[in-house]
Chains A and B, each alone.
Chain A
Amino acid sequence: MPKFRYMFTFGEDTIKEPVIYLVGKHFDVVTNIRRAQIEQDHAWAVLEIEGADDEIERALTYARGLGVQVNLMEGDVITG
């Protein structure tokens, strides 16, 4: 199964939601928090996510739908 590195960033409107738990519960992906900073009203977490491509895509779309900012750690690989 492929593994990817993503950063999830939470604002005041999403900080109270158990987003990483929900992603693992609703989709067949394994999440592993490797680095994080959590404050009262904002946070970020660097995750390793393992799963089938389609399932990861659906999981990330779901997280974004909850209002979390989701970025590939490598940044944009496609460049000019």
Chain B
Amino acid sequence: MAFATALRCRECGRLYNLDPIHFCEFCFGPLEVAYDYEAMAKAVSRESIARGPNSLWRYKDFLPVLGDDVVDFSQGFTPLVKAGRLGKALGLRNLYIKNDCVNPTYSFKDRVVAVAATRARELGFDTLACASTGNLAGATAAAAARAGMQANIFIPADLEQGKVLGAAIYGPHIYAIEGSYDQVNRLCSELADKYHWAFVNVNVRPYYAEGSKTMGYEVAEQLGWRAPDWAVAPLASGSMFTKIYKGYKELVQVGILDSVHTRMLATQALGCSPIVTAYNEGSFNVRPVKANTIAKSLAIGNPADGYYALKVIEESNGAGVAMTDAEIVEGMKLLAETEGIFAETAGGVTIAGLVRMAQAGTFQADETIVAYITGNGLKTVEAVVEAVNKPTIIQPTLESFEAAYAANAVGTAR
């Protein structure tokens, strides 16, 4: 069953058909999918969800797709890991890691693109497009390959070739744009208006964004159908953060959960923290910044959903913190060394924010806390290459090994 009924302007409330549009023609406010929650409540249950596939499509009734022909290559339904060792280090007895590193292209972007690609195909598009410096490019190119669609990927001309590889392997057309950041953004906006493409985070953004709700549903289901006391997540545009919270709340709206009291903790890199800066100032005016951080996947200086993320912090009695690059690297190392999960820099932001708030006494020791890890560390190895132990070089003899081993043991003992 499909329960999406319309697109609704988040500013003036005007309704639109479920078309490939993303802003209100009257007030230019962003559009969001509206649902018939009364009908949805009659159709969905914990049991009906449990009968679904082991992917985000088990929550299809909550998503803005109308048919059954979904773009599915096992996106989502990623592990929720009890983080015993990290929790112990922080004095937290119920800490969990939502590990979205293990999606098909190794980031949470597979979720949003899955929904965008499915809806795009329903709307008659044969081409997906995006502008990206990494994760979104890979997710879009892979989904297009899986769906038998064309893909056009736009990147800044100065992007390192290594960053492009994760998308190029899927065979998209890649265009490297020369120009200022503002010019590149404007060109992409113009292309989305002019060409009959599904530009995943522009003209089909209302559908795309809904994919992040599944990170809320999954955590609630994996916790035994309850929402956590705290959710800690990294923010770029702010969209994912707002949709995780929306996911929790929708489960209450349809009667699957009794209540939600989750407090949302927003984490950003200090070198690109317009949302947390506004939070610290007690303002809802997000002033754009020029990004300068190792957390490239969070480097959105003009966040489209910044205002709405701030509203979520306020409504949930949450908080916001911004982390230095050094803290981000330490966060990546701490997660890897305690839980065996190698997160990208955005994950370092999450863990660093968690550490800082834990040390500040923000959490109760028994509270259930979920830290969202949104991408794999192999995507950002350059961030930690100088921060990890170098190999000990030895000769191919037992004596050489034992001498080195003894030296390492002495080092460890110290």
Q: Which residue of B156, B305, B306 contacts A78 across the interface (Cβ within 8 Å)? A: B156
A18 within 8 A of B: no
Contact, CB under 8 Å: A79 / B183: no
Contact, CB under 8 Å: B156 / A80: no
Residues of A close to B201: CB separation below 8 A = 77, 79
Contact, CB under 8 Å: A72 / B236: no
Contact, CB under 8 Å: A80 / B132: yes
Contact mask B164-205 → A, CB, 8 Å, 1/0?
A: 000000000000000001111110111001000000011000
Residues of A close to B27: CB separation below 8 A = 34-35, 46
Nearest residue in B to A60 (C-beta to C-beta)?
Answer: B182
Q: Which residue of A4, A48, A73, A76 contacts B301 across the interface (Cβ within 8 Å)? A: A76
Contact, CB under 8 Å: A4 / B186: yes
Cα A34 to Cα B12 with chains together (Å): 12
Contact, CB under 8 Å: A77 / B296: no
Residues of A close to B23: CB separation below 8 A = 5, 73-74
User: What's the minimum C-beta distance from A25 to chain B, rounded to whole angstroms?
Assistant: 22
Residues of A close to B265: CB separation below 8 A = none
Residues of A close to B190: CB separation below 8 A = 2, 4, 53
Contact mask A41-63 → B, CB, 8 Å, 1/0?
A: 00000101000010011001000
Given known contacts A34-B26, A60-B182, A76 and B132 CB-to-CB distance under 8 angstroms: no
Cα A77 to Cα B130 with chains together (Å): 8
A69 within 8 A of B: yes
Contact mask B121-140 → A, CB, 8 Å, 1/0?
A: 00000000011111110000
Tell me the residues in window 23-55 of chain B with beta carbons closer than 8 Å to chain A beta carbons.
Answer: 23, 26-29
A71 within 8 A of B: yes
Contact, CB under 8 Å: A4 / B189: yes
Cα A63 to Cα B193 with chains together (Å): 25
Contact, CB under 8 Å: A80 / B28: no
Nearest residue in B to A46 (C-beta to C-beta)?
Answer: B28
Residues of B close to A80: CB separation below 8 A = 132-136, 236, 296-300, 346
B253 within 8 A of A: no
Tell me the residues in window 9-47 of chain A with beta carbons closer than 8 Å to chain B beta carbons.
Answer: 9, 34-35, 46
Q: Which residue of A5, A53, A77 contacts B28 across the interface (Cβ within 8 Å)? A: A5
Contact, CB under 8 Å: A77 / B183: no
Residues of A close to B29: CB separation below 8 A = 35
Cα A5 to Cα B297 with chains together (Å): 25
Contact mask B284-319 → A, CB, 8 Å, 1/0?
A: 010110000000111111111110000000000000
Residues of B close to A9: CB separation below 8 A = 285, 287
Contact, CB under 8 Å: A74 / B11: no
Residues of A close to B288: CB separation below 8 A = 69, 71
A75 within 8 A of B: yes
Given known contacts A57-B183, A80-B132, A80-B236, A74 and B304 CB-to-CB distance under 8 angstroms: yes
Nearest residue in B to A44 (C-beta to C-beta)?
Answer: B285
Contact, CB under 8 Å: B303 / A75: yes
Contact, CB under 8 Å: B185 / A76: yes
B267 within 8 A of A: no
Contact, CB under 8 Å: A78 / B189: no
Nearest residue in B to A2 (C-beta to C-beta)?
Answer: B190
B350 within 8 A of A: no
Contact, CB under 8 Å: B11 / A79: no
User: What's the minimum C-beta distance from B239 to chain A, rounded to whole angstroms?
Assistant: 9
User: What's the minimum C-beta distance from A2 to chain B, rounded to whole angstroms?
Assistant: 5
Residues of A close to B262: CB separation below 8 A = none
Residues of B close to A34: CB separation below 8 A = 26-28
- Ranked nearest first, the 4 interchain pairs of A and B with the lowest CB-CB distance are A75-B304, A80-B297, A77-B188, A78-B131
Known pairs A53-B190, A74-B189, A80-B299; list 6 more (Cβ under 8 Å): A9-B285, A72-B182, A76-B302, A78-B132, A78-B133, A80-B132
Residues of chain A having any CB pair with chain B under 8 Å: 2-5, 9, 34-35, 46, 48, 53, 56-57, 60, 69, 71-80
Residues of chain B having any CB pair with chain A under 8 Å: 11, 22-23, 26-29, 130-136, 154, 156, 181-186, 188-190, 193, 201-202, 236-237, 285, 287-288, 296-306, 346
Q: List 19 A-B contacts (CB under 8 A).
A: A2-B190, A9-B285, A9-B287, A69-B288, A71-B288, A72-B185, A72-B302, A74-B185, A74-B304, A75-B300, A76-B302, A77-B185, A79-B130, A79-B132, A79-B300, A80-B132, A80-B133, A80-B136, A80-B296
